[in-house]
Structure 1
């Protein structure tokens, strides 16, 4: 079965055109669940290795271009993924499924996107953020202040003086599973101001259960929080990810229109062999 691997700002994804439902037939033949399939594919060294897996499917509403199913590396299905959405649009554009203006369906709602520079850059208009609030947490004997916002998926954002001094894995995991965010937990971002229009970010991603090189919805959440808290004064906000790439986040004052823009690279195309899925 054919697949492609794409990455946006260091977030990497395996993408499959499943409009003909070949994945279900393939897994039924193997006696494998979708959860186990995703885990096997996304595991480094023994699989392809990726932060997530995306299935491109036919839209429920014919006015949209396609629908997707997004899975985290642990096999859990998520509502939305910013960088994953940009990679999905690039894939769909390359495959002739969409043109330069795109609408596709996610569990978080319909996402609009724009193909720029022949697909080398993708800009997506995310669903309207919600549930913004300030939070104070007791974590491992520490009092941690931050902000919570849902930009398609939940995010905690903490402002620090130096992101390089943060133990992202330890502290991120404690906040991710904190009782404040149960039952589903939250993604966790630590940000530092660089200048009046840019921030640096490190993110612990729910579902990957590790620090990732970038997170589109996390960068979006962080840019909004940084602007609301006054640590950046200008828009669009430039977000320097762990990979070193810059994501551009723009939004209006009422957060009715929020955009995420960045580069996308198609890394390689390949075919799954039954051998590694059967072991």
Structure 2
């Protein structure tokens, strides 16, 4: 069978995207998804997404996301932004979207070439001596470090991802360095990819909220430098949590292709 696919990237976080509105692929075919994401024997990507028909009349489409290991995953922020751009490319939407992902309903808008994706409200952030933990659609461990550029993200991230209290379920791990009052740099080790990625949207969101809750910034519009580019997160404080959270950044089509399996 020959499959048409599209490759998208958002600040270096790259995805294989397939228009699955005709249900040409089964969501149970995890081996195929892993093969397509393989950088040696497949197309190569941090994850794979299916754009599917909406599940209720409020939605424009449904987002289904798989990690590079082929397993269906929790929410992917950069993936969500790329899928919105893909929906606009297909003509499914114009510049505004409402869609459902694994963590619930999202709204998004394309403005001035950037995709503004509304993330889920965050009701609680756990604070520890060495780090913070929160769920921004995916679980995230956030820790401040020095000399981020030379930090051993792969090995230290892997140890935290599989260690207590996360174990097999795991957590994404973000290492952060402050650059200015409202600018932070982050490098992220992603579970499911099992390596550092150039950018992680839910991780960037987790970092912005963590920096605000620890009073390392008082701003509610945060610029985040990732290895793959810059993203912006805006939000409003809501008691012990946050609401009206938006992840903002570019999402670009890299190429279209066909693969036979």
Question: Structure 1 length normalisation: TM-score?
Answer: 0.89
2:233 aligns with 249
- Choose which of 79, 91, 100 in structure 2 pairs with 1:96: 91
Does 1:17 find its partner at 2:34? no
Aligned to 1:269: 256
Is 1:68 aligned to 2:52, yes or no? no
Distance in 2 between the 1:178 and 1:131 partners?
22
Contact 1:89 1:122 in 2 (8 A): yes
Helix, strand or coil at the partner of 2:91: coil
How much has 1:156 moved relative to structure 2?
A: 0.2
Aligned mates of 2:146, 2:123 — CA distance in 1:
27
- Which of the numbers 141, 149, 156 marks the counterpart of 1:164? 149
- Which has the higher Rg, Structure 1 or Structure 2? 1
Measured against aligned partners, the alpha-carbon deviations of 1:35-83 in whole angstroms (never above 9, x if no partner) come to 1111110011221100000001111112111111100001111120000
Q: Quick check: 1:193–1:232 contact (8 Å CA) kept in 2?
A: no
Q: Is 1:187 matched up with 2:172?
A: yes
> RMSD of the alignment, in Å?
1.3
Q: How does 1:226-245 map to 2 (within 5 A)?
A: 226-243=211-228, 245=229
1:115-264 maps to which residues of 2 (within 5 A)? Answer: 115-117=110-112, 120-136=113-129, 145-243=130-228, 245-254=229-238, 255-264=242-251
What is the number of equivalent residue pairs in this alignment?
Answer: 256
Q: Could you list the per-position Cα deviations for residues 187-225 of structure 1 after superposition, in whole angstroms to 9, with x for gaps in the alignment?
A: 000000000010000000010000000000000000111
Does the CA-based 8 Å contact 1:134-1:148 persist in structure 2?
A: yes
Deviation readout 1:80-112 (Å, 9 max, x if unpaired):
000000000000000001121111011101011
Q: Which ranges of structure 1 fall in alignment gaps of 5 or more residues?
A: 28-32, 137-144, 275-279
Distance in 2 of aligned mates of 1:130 and 1:4: 35
**Is the Cα contact below 8 Å between 2:161 and 2:167 reproduced in 1?**
no
Q: What secondary structure, in the 3-state scheme, does the structure 1 residue paired with 2:165 have?
A: helix
Comparing 86-95 with 173-182, greater Cα deviation is found at 173-182
Q: Which position in structure 2 is the counterpart of 1:4? A: 6
More helix by share: 1
Alpha-carbon deviation of 1:183? Answer: 4.8
Query: 2:125 & 2:219 partners in 1: Cα distance?
Result: 20
CA contact (8 A) 1:70 1:79 kept: yes
Inter-partner Cα distance in structure 2 for 1:131 and 1:263: 28
